[in-house]
Every structure is written in structure tokens, then in C-alpha cells.
Amino acid sequence: MKGESQIYLTGGEKMSQEGELELYSDGIVHCSVCTNIDSIALIENLVNAKNPTEIKSRWKVSKQIGFDSGQPNPCPCDQKPETHKHYLMEC
């Protein structure tokens, strides 16, 4: 998805940034995203807006050291390593 991403935070404050964020793997308590956005807070807010957990917990970048494949979290995207990273999220 290309273009401006907008999220309304608590209190109606608007946060926006040019960027791409793609949810490429979705599970019950983990998901993975590919993005060129540097702000962890913005990544977490966008993932929660686009893919709500529908439970009390919200998506956050995982504190797990890496992916099951052995790649670190985050790790460079295999298709766009110069600009994009993959992040493991958990709720």
C-alpha cells in the first residue's frame, strides 16, 4: 500500500507519515509486517488500526529476539532490503 497512512490517537491527535505497511502473515497471537516506516509507535498503531485483535491486548512489536526462521526481529526485507524491514508482532 503506497501513500499517506493516517491514524487518530487518543484525544483525536492525528499522526501521519508517508510509507508502506503490508501485513504478510497473520496468526492468533502473532503477525508479521513488511514496512519502510521507522517509527515503532506508528507501526504498532497502523497494525492495530488495519488488523484489530478484537481482544484486550493490542499488537506490539514482539520482544522475541527473532523469527522462527532464525532471522532477527526486525530483519531486512528479502525483496526490498535497502528500504524495508520485517517486524514480528504479538498481542
pLDDT tens digits, one per residue of 9-36: 333 334 445 689 999 999 989 999 999 9
Over residues 49-82, the pLDDT tens digits come to 999 998 999 999 999 889 999 999 999 999 999 9
Domain boundaries, position 59: 4-90
End-to-end CA distance of the chain: 23
The pLDDT, as a whole number, for residue 18 is 67
Contact 59, 48 (CB under 8 A): yes
The pLDDT, as a whole number, for residue 24 is 95
Calculate the CA dihedral of residues 23, 1, 59, 55 and round it to 10 degrees.
Answer: -90
Give the angle subtended at the CA of 62 by the CAs of 57 and 64, to the nearest 5°.
130
The pLDDT, as a whole number, for residue 1 is 42
The pLDDT, as a whole number, for residue 72 is 96
Instruction: Give how many domains the chain has, as a whole number.
Output: 1
